[in-house]
């Protein structure tokens, strides 16, 4: 049985683990991250977190032939929108010196690794696509200003019910 969504999410987590200088990565981590491991007192930041996010159908695969395929459900293009977070080690001074450029560097390296991963593109197939949709940081008024960033992606893939037969 094939679950293409899970393959994609597992691959995203693997790729996130290759981002240079991230100390730890988690999938579906809940709650705030401490800066240090309470058992070992070792730093766990900067960290990457992947949340499964949501998915929705965006239409039928246009090449589906009603006359050849049995069953009522044709292949569907799905749009998966996982949430990728980068969490920096908080600075000790109020100026947050270097946080902006560091977040930008993580954005560039993470997005480059995700959008150019050949295994990911194999999972997506001929109708697949990866779009970088932008980022949101906590470096704005009314936010914690700790050096956290949410990277947004839309990943299109084919969901085929015959994969489950």
Does the CA dihedral 7-10-12-15 come out positive or negative?
negative
Which H or E run contains 12?
A: helix 4-16
- Within-domain flag for 138: yes
Q: Is residue 92 domain-resident?
A: yes
Confirm whether 36 is domain-assigned: no
Question: Does 88 reside within a domain?
Answer: yes
Tens of pLDDT, residue by residue, the chain (165 residues): 668 999 999 999 999 999 999 999 999 998 888 899 999 999 999 999 999 999 999 887 765 555 555 565 778 899 999 999 999 999 988 889 999 999 999 999 999 999 999 999 999 988 899 999 999 999 999 888 899 999 999 999 998 877 765
Cα 94 from Cα 38, distance rounded (Å): 25
* Counted domains in the chain: 1
In a domain, 67, yes or no: no
Task: Flag whether 70 is in a domain.
Answer: no
For residue 156, what are the domain limits? 4-30+41-61+75-164
- CATH, residue 92: 3.30.70.1700
Domain contains 68: no
């Amino acid at each position: 049985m094939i679950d293409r969504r899970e393959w994609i999410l597992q691959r995203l987590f693997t790729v996130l683990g290759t981002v240079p200088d991230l100390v730890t990565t988690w999938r579906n981590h809940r709650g705030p991250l401490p800066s240090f491991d309470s058992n070992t007192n070792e730093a766990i930041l900067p960290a990457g977190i992947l949340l499964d996010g949501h998915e929705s159908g965006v239409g039928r695969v246009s090449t589906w032939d009603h006359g050849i395929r049995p069953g009522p459900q044709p292949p569907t293009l799905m749009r998966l929108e996982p949430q990728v977070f980068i969490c920096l080690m908080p600075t000790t001074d109020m100026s947050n010196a270097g946080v902006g450029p560091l977040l930008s560097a993580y954005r560039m390296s993470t997005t480059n690794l995700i959008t150019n991963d050949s295994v990911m593109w194999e999972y997506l197939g001929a109708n697949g696509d990866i779009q970088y949709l932008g980022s949101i940081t906590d470096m704005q008024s009314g936010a914690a200003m700790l050096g956290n960033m949410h990277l947004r992606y839309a990943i299109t893939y084919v969901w085929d019910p015959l994969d489950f037969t």
